[in-house]
Amino acid sequence: MKTLMASTAAFAMMAGLAMAQDVVRLGTEGAYPPWNFINDQGEVDGFERDLGDELCDRAELNCEWVTTDWDSIIPNLVSGNYDAIIAGMSITDEREEVIDFTQNYTPPDPSSYVGLSDDVDVENGVIAAQSGTIQASHVAETGATLVEFATPEETIAAVRNGEADAVLADRSYLAPLVEDDAELRFVAEDVELGGGVAMGLRESDDELRETFDAAIQSMKDDGSLNELIEKWDVSSTF
Amino acid sequence: MEAAIFSFCADPASLEGVRWLACYVTTGKHANLYYATGTVLLLLAITAPTALAFGFGGAVAARSRIWPLNWIGKGYIAIVRGVPDIAFFLFFVIALDQLFEAIRHKIKCPEWDQPIWQGNDFVVCRQAKLPLGNDPQWVHDAYSFMLAVLTFSIVFGAFAANVLYGAMRAVPRAQIETAEAYGMTARQTFRRILIPQMWVYAVPGLSNLWMVLTKATPLLFLLGVEDIVYWARELGGSANPRFTDYPHGDWRMWYFLALLVFYLGLTKISEVFLERLMKRLTHGQATTGGDARRHTA
């Protein structure tokens, strides 16, 4: 115990010496292509990687990427393990109670159902969704039976192996999968959920929120945000 | 594209068979899996002796005749054994981290007038952050790793304490009495008679604990430390050609099969080692195990 305490203290001192430019740590999931994923080189990649790097450039911030579990992404933000969430997170009232959002960087976009056959009853069947998402809350409100999974990957696997009749997720996440797999298809009608995707920040961190807000606005104004959205095909444009 | 290990990996789409596989398993993403394997082994190597030390301390305290010490030892064993690991990991680690930061905050920023808790947010001044936001990623990783070692050690230490407590009581009373009759002090009896003889009773219980510990590492991800199970799931998930040069279907089964082999191998090595240790410890000792050895050897 003593040596552990001593090494903590040593660590603390070492850390104290290294004061340089302020680093803003960006938290993401790294498992939600095309929004964010880990590429072959083992680095964070995707729409939000490009977006986050550009925003930090414009705001003259020194940013660093951190990956974390989706389930603990908000608790880790509020306890200060990173400074902003940039992980395909839609603005909802529930989340607004705990954290603050910047303005959205993609417009509110439809969520889609994907299943194996066209006659899936999405109102009364078994529907898979990633836990803690707007889609999961939506399914819970319909008459369907909700099965939740920790990662988006598992929700698709549940449909493939028949555990669920369909999966409800962002259309942009499902589109490349449907294109790639002859068995999967879009079923039923799209639903409109959430208020668009935005960065999440601590409620006490107004300054950083305003900085990112301004950077997003400048990207909206000069059209570079729309270019990025089209490049990664994540949503409709502004 | 970053430099690959093999020169022929420049154009993955043209590769087939063994060459494709060779390139596939040497991507930077796979390097994370190998790195995580090292992390897990390092964690086990550091945690096992630390937990044993915690356990020894707990057992000695619980045996003590001095009441506050005895109370602390028994309390530690009872509380930690009674709380589910996952709750302990979620609550204790975040609380521990916040405690460190709150202490540093008090020392480093005495002029700070806002509360530490602002609604849901835990806010300390920048200088009190642990590690500092400015620190390179490896410092953050090392810090989470250290928290993980500490938490695992406290949890497994409590179980080890109970095993050692029982083992100390299992040493035949006659041995202790003989030592006392020779005029040894309590401390001498403890060091020369009790400790050497208790291991034979402790090892079976401790070896069980070790086996459980080797398989508890997925809890690491709760602390932001990516372990092998996390990477196996991440790498095994189907890879779409849009986002990777090495597209494949859902290969999680194969990755988990590899994990199975890894863990079985670890178990086998541990068993061989523990068997040897047991033989050494029972050598010449007045137990049934030791007696059997005396006749055969």
The CA radius of gyration of chain A, in Å to the nearest whole number, is: 20
Look up the pTM and report it.
0.79
Please tell me the predicted confidence (pLDDT) of residue B286. 62
Q: How confident is the model at residue B217 (pLDDT cuts 50, 70, 90)?
A: confident
Closest residue of A to B236, CA-based? A153
Kindly report, residue by residue over B247-272, the tens digit of the pLDDT. Answer: 888 898 999 999 999 999 999 999 99
Query: Which 236-295 residues of chain B touch chain A by CB within 8 A?
Result: 237-238, 240-246, 250, 252
Tell me whether B27 touches chain A (CB under 8 Å): yes
Q: Which residue type sits at B142?
A: A
DSSP-derived pairing of the beta strands B117-118 and B121-122: antiparallel
Output the pLDDT for position B294.
54
Computed over every residue of chain B, the mean pLDDT equals 86
Query: Residue B133 and residue A160: Cβ atoms within 8 Å?
Result: no
Chain B residue with the nearest C-alpha to that of A18? B135
Determine the pLDDT at residue A158: 92
pLDDT at B129: 83
pLDDT tens, position by position, for chain A (238 residues)? 444 444 444 444 444 333 335 789 999 998 888 999 999 988 999 999 999 999 999 999 999 999 888 888 998 898 888 999 999 999 999 999 999 999 999 998 889 999 998 888 888 899 999 998 999 999 999 889 999 998 888 899 999 999 999 999 999 899 988 988 888 999 988 998 888 999 999 998 999 999 999 999 999 999 999 999 999 988 888 8
Burial of A119 (0-12, 13-18, 19+ CB in 10 A): exposed
Chain A residues near residue B139 by CB distance under 8 angstroms? 11, 14-15
Q: Which residue of B has its CA nearest to A77?
A: B121
Residue of A63, A74, A81 for testing the chain B interface, max B β-carbons within 10 Å: A81
What is the pLDDT averaged over residues B163-174?
93
Average pLDDT over residues B47-54: 96
Q: What string of DSSP letters covers A180-223? A: H-TT-EEEEEEEE-SS-B--EE-TT-HHHHHHHHHHHHHHHHTT
Total Cβ atoms within 10 A of residue A189: 9
H helices of B109-224, in order, are 137-170, 173-181, 186-188, 195-214
Q: Return the structure tokens found at A119.
A: 């006659």
Taking the alpha carbons of B248, B249, B252, B254 in that order, is the dihedral positive or negative?
negative
Pair of tokens at residue A156: 């698709």
In angstroms, the separation between the Cα of residue A156 and the nearest Cα of chain B is 10
The pLDDT, as a whole number, for residue A168 is 95
Query: Nearest 5°: CA angle at B56, between B288 and B286?
Result: 15
- Span B202-213, average pLDDT: 93
Rounded CA-CA distance A35/A131 in Å is 17
CA dist., res. A84 & res. A202, Å (int): 7
> Coil, strand, or helix at residue B141?
helix
How many inter-chain contacts (A to B, CB under 8 Å) are there? 136
